[in-house]
C-alpha cells in the first residue's frame, strides 16, 4: 500500500477501532497555533501530537532545531494515546504534509509500518464538507514497544564523510547531474530546502546561510501536486531521474522536518537506500569546523 491515503479512503474507515488518526498541525513561530486549531476543530477521533513537544527532544548544543525524540519517550507518549504496535495510524496536518511526514518517518524509525499520511490535509478534508468536531476522544492506553531501525538515520560524521567524498568525486553541487557520471554509486546528499535558502540568499531561521558542500537541491514541495497531494510514483521517478538508484542517499533540510516528505517521495520513486540526517542544516552549522557552501 502507498504511504498516503485519500480523503474518501479515510472517510470510509473513520471509526475503525484499530485505527488512530493523528492531527500534526503546527506553525513555525506560532507554537500554540496547531493545538489551538485542533481544539477548535479536527477530524473525528483524532488525537494531537505537537511537533516540538512530542515529535522532538529539547534543543541542545547539537542536534538541530528539532532533535529526534528519544525512542522510549516517544513510545510512551504513543502508548498513552492508545497507539500500540498493531495500530494503523493516519496522520494529517495543514502544512503540505511536512509535520505528518515527520510522524510517518518517526513511526517507521521505531519499526512501525502501518502509518499513512492523509492527502491534502485538514483544509482539503473540510472543503469537501467531511465531518469535523471539537470533541477530544478518551483513549485507552496501549503498549508500544519500539524496534529502532538505525539504518534509516545518518549522523553528522557520516554526512561529513559523504560530503567529502562527493566533493572529491567531482560532482557539481547545486546542479542535477547524475552522480554515476563522477563515480559509481557515490553517496548523494540532498538538501530539501527552497532554492534561495540552499544558495544562502535568504536565511531567516538559522545562524548561517548556505548548504553542505556537495549537496544537491531538490525542494521538498516539488514532490507534490498543486492540491497538496504527492505526485505519482511515475512522476516522482521522473523528478529524481538524474539520481543513481544504486547510490545511498542522505536527505536533510533545516531541522529534519521538511526532509521527511522528500524521504517519502524518494522511496515512492523506487529508491531503496534513503537515510535522514535528522539534525540537518541547523545541526551541521552547530559545529564550527564544518564547511559551508553558497551559490551554485
Summarize pLDDT for 29-46 with one digit per residue, the tens.
Answer: 898 999 999 999 999 999
From 106, 179, 253, 274, active-site residue: 253
Class of domain 151-284: alpha beta
Using CB atoms within 10 A of its CB, is residue 126 exposed (0-12), middle (13-18) or buried (19+)?
middle
**Band of pLDDT at residue 73, cut at 50, 70 and 90:** very high
Is the per-residue pLDDT at 234 higher than 90?
Answer: yes
Catalytic (active site) residue 253: yes
Give the other-Cβ count within 10 Å of 24's Cβ: 30
- Evaluate whether 4-148 and 151-284 have a shared fold: yes
CB 33 within 8 A of CB 26: yes
Question: Between 155 and 31, whose confidence is greater?
Answer: 155
Statement: the pTM of the whole predicted model exceeds 0.75: yes
**Band of pLDDT at residue 169, cut at 50, 70 and 90:** confident
Q: By percentage, how much of the chain surpasses pLDDT 70?
A: 94
CATH assignment of 4-148? 3.40.250.10
**Band of pLDDT at residue 1, cut at 50, 70 and 90:** low
Question: Between 228 and 215, whose confidence is greater?
Answer: 215
- Give the per-residue pLDDT at 295: 84
Match 551541521 to its residue by C-alpha cell.
Answer: 284
Domain range list for the chain: 4-148, 151-284
Please give the Cα distance from 271 to 45 (Å, whole number).
34
- Give the per-residue pLDDT at 176: 41
Give the other-Cβ count within 10 Å of 5's Cβ: 18
Amino acid at each position: 500500500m502507498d504511504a498516503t491515503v485519500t480523503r474518501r479512503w479515510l472517510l470510509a474507515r473513520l471509526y475503525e477501532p484499530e485505527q488512530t488518526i493523528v492531527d500534526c498541525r503546527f506553525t513555525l513561530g506560532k507554537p500554540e497555533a496547531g493545538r489551538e486549531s485542533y481544539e477548535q476543530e479536527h477530524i473525528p477521533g483524532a488525537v494531537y501530537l505537537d511537533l516540538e513537544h512530542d515529535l522532538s527532544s529539547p534543543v541542545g548544543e547539537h542536534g538541530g532545531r528539532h532533535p529526534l525524540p528519544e525512542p522510549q519517550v516517544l513510545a510512551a507518549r504513543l502508548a498513552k494515546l492508545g497507539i500500540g504496535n498493531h495500530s494503523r495510524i493516519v496522520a494529517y496536518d495543514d502544512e503540505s504534509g511536512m509535520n505528518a511526514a515527520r510522524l510517518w518517518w518517526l513511526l517507521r524509525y521505531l519499526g512501525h509500518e502501518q502509518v499513512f499520511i492523509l492527502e491534502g490535509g485538514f483544509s482539503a478534508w473540510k472543503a469537501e464538507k467531511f465531518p469535523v468536531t471539537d470533541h477530544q476522544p478518551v483513549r485507552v492506553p496501549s503498549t508500544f514497544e519500539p524496534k529502532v531501525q538505525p539504518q534509516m538515520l545518518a549522523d553528522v560524521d557520516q554526512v561529513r564523510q559523504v560530503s567529502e567524498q562527493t566533493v572529491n568525486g567531482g560532482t557539481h553541487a547545486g546542479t542535477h547531474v547524475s552522480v554515476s557520471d563522477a563515480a559509481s554509486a557515490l553517496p548523494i546528499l540532498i538538501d530539501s530546502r527552497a532554492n534561495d535558502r540552499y544558495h544562502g540568499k535568504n536565511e531567516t531561521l538559522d545562524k548561517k546561510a548556505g548548504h553542505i558542500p556537495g549537496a544537491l537541491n531538490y525542494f521538498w514541495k516539488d514532490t507534490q501536486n498543486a492540491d497538496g497531494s504527492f505526485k505519482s510514483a511515475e512522476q516522482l521517478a521522473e523528478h529524481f531521474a538524474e539520481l543513481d538508484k544504486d547510490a545511498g542517499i542522505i536527505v536533510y533540510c533545516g531541522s529534519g522536518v521538511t526532509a521527511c516528505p522528500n524521504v517519502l517521495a524518494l522511496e515512492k520513486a523506487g529508491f531503496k537506500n534513503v537515510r535522514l540526517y535528522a539534525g540537518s542544516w541547523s545541526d551541521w552549522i552547530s559545529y564550527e569546523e564544518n564547511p559551508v557552501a553558497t551559490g551554485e
